[in-house]
Amino acid sequence: MKNFITVGARGAVAAVFASVLAAPVQAATCEFRPNAPDQHLVVRGDTLWDISGQFLEHPWCWPQVWGINRDQIRDPHWIYPGQTVYFDRLNRRLSLSRPDAPSDGIEQTTRLSPQIRTEGLGNDAVQSISAGAIEPFLSRPLIVEEGELNSAPRIAAIGDNHVYLGKDDKLYVRGVLHGATSFQVFRPGSALKDPETGRLLAYEAVYLGTVKLQAEAKPGVDVHTFTVSSSTQEMGVGDRLMPAPPTPLRNYVPHPPQRQVNARVLSIYSGVTYAGQNQVVSVNRGSLDGLDVGAVLQLYHFGQTVADPGGKQGVMGLGKTMIKLPDEQIGNLFIFRVFKHVAYGLIMQVTKPVEVGDVAKSPE
């Protein structure tokens, strides 16, 4: 993908311990803000991150103060506009029940206006983060593991003597479809290499559009017939097809990684040198490294190595004593899509621009 910037090799970073999900609320990493309000009325447009940030020093501590376990974070459709979130200061917890409500064995919750809600649908539930910035990354692979495109069906010929394809044009595809009928079309892009080891992790995939199967290859015919459903760039012979992915999980709860993660910012989307609030970056760690959807990493600039002006000079007065400055924390990264070796994250609460090669590691 031409609008990514990749990074060369840099040094490794020191390991830190990972926070444990469902740890005690009183843990140092999960403190309530001194000026936390007593309650918050949930309104349309609120996000889970925004709400938790009003009460907590670190919004990713949300699951801990609600007592959500690992199974529940997959489907947290239980906070809706019109409800009130209360801060139970005595027990240091958040709840949908008033802390001073009478205890009669029945949980008292805020009364909602009558409405029809299909169980588990959650269409109007509060989202973890704003979907606008990450929408393209949810519906398209963009990151393709090594070898995936090599075995994918490919455009072998184009109808009507066209050189490139547009909407409703006919194309012929060779390869095994495995029963799928709707596909996304990609062109192999740049290789993504681990900045620490130089190992090839995956490829950027240039998204070109979607195609739909019209007729499978019949006996004696080598190709399947497709038509173009949508097009963002021109498609041509040699471009590859991948099945359209399932509807992605959109409502996830921020939480520390399952195990210690030490990652580096691998690339920045949109072709810029620096990234800021609500921009998307990729990191060189994925599901095989303990990352999952909703995991939160802390972002750091590497501490620079500078000359000590008061230090001793080297032989014959040449050179100076060099000192390493500490890494500087600059924000948080919310992981919203995970591949085997690479993951996408949305930059949250950043105080300084994020650069390719910056550190992203488990919360301390």
341 shares a domain with 271: yes
Q: Are 173 and 156 in contact (CB under 8 A)?
A: yes
250 found inside a domain: no
Q: What is the mean pLDDT of the chain?
A: 77
Q: How many domains does one find in the chain? A: 3
Q: What pLDDT score does 107 carry?
A: 44
At 228-249, the pLDDT tens digits run 999 888 898 999 999 887 766 5
238 shares a domain with 278: no
- Which residue did the predictor score with more confidence, 287 or 102? 287
Which range of 95-109, 115-129, 215-229, 299-313 scores highest in mean pLDDT? It is: 215-229
**Where is the domain boundary, 243, 274, 298?**
243
How many residues are recorded in the chain? 364
- The secondary structure of 41-84, three-state, reads ECCCCCEHHHHHHHHECCHHHHHHHHCCCCCHHHCCCCCCCCCE
264 shares a domain with 348: yes
Closest CA to 230 of 173, 285, 167: 167
238 shares a domain with 195: yes
349 shares a domain with 274: yes
At 315-364, the pLDDT tens digits run 545 567 888 888 889 999 999 889 899 999 999 878 899 998 899 999 87
Q: What pLDDT score does 94 carry?
A: 84
76 found inside a domain: yes
Q: What pLDDT score does 1 carry?
A: 37
147 shares a domain with 62: no
- Which residue did the predictor score with more confidence, 281 or 165? 281
37 found inside a domain: yes
Q: What pLDDT score does 219 carry?
A: 94
Distance CA 123, CA 60 (A): 23
Q: What pLDDT score does 15 carry?
A: 25
278 found inside a domain: yes
Q: Which domain holds residue 53?
A: 21-98+121-132
**Where is the domain boundary, 190, 213, 243?**
243
111 found inside a domain: no
